[in-house]
Amino acid sequence: MDEASNPAEFVGYQPDERLLGEDLDKLPAAAGRPPLVPRGHARGGIVGAGATLTAASLVIGVLLVLLGVVDAISSGIDAAPIVAIVLGALLISTHWGWVHVAELTANSLEGRSHADVIERRQQWLASIEPYTRFEVSTEVQDDGSIAICSLRHRPVQSGEERFTFVREIEQRELHPPDEPAASVTERAEALRRQAALATEREHERYEVAADAYRTALLGREDEEQRRLAQRAASEALSRQINSNLRDPPLVE
């Protein structure tokens, strides 16, 4: 298992909200999953009403523009056709707004109804620390062979002092269908042990850097103190790495 980049790089960063949704599959199964927010019965009606208003606004807007143009051509340009054209153009340009209003309304209602679930989701998100995880999974192929995949879930910056993860395949072994099951199982378990050890090493490296960062920061948030705290985190990690090089830890 290849070790990740310097874990001190993301000390002090916060997990991105995308890890609750679109980036959730970038995390290993061992990280767990946040509780789901139940979808209320009212949501469908609200969103449906928003879609209906969107369609109605578009249709009415087009009709008003057409009526205004026809009126202007047949009767001359005066206040009435101009008002119709302007009002129609306004309805056309803003018709999608009803969808967003409906979505925001539904989200607000769900937020009030399921505040406890949303709070637990935020607590789960805050518990994610930015260090590399390693994982092993198996896949059955169409011909009956089994693929053993060694995966790396690596933190990456996703915004101003925010992080998410990328999921990378480090190694993929294909075992034919006639290979003894015991042999495939033994190989998968050996790779899982390696992944667990590598993950634990990355966790320990991150904790060393995080502890040094918190000690150096001491609650002060100005940019200079953040820079000094980041340097202290890197120095602490460097000392641990050098110590391990002189006296490497025992591993399986």
What pLDDT was estimated at residue 252? 46
The residue type at 185? T
* Mean pLDDT per 10-residue segment, the chain (252 residues): 66 92 91 80 67 85 84 76 82 78 71 74 93 94 93 92 94 93 93 95 90 70 64 73 62 48
- The pLDDT assigned to 247 comes to 57
Q: What distance in Å separates the CA atoms of residue 108 and residue 94, rounded to the nearest whole number?
A: 22
Q: What is the residue extent of each domain of the chain?
A: 7-34+123-246, 41-113
Q: Torsion over CA of 4, 10, 11 and 15, rounded to 10 degrees? A: -110
DSSP 8-state class, residue 174: E
Residue 222: how many other CB atoms lie within 10 Å: 8
Residues in CB range of 57: below 8 A, 6 or more apart: 91, 92, 94, 95, 98
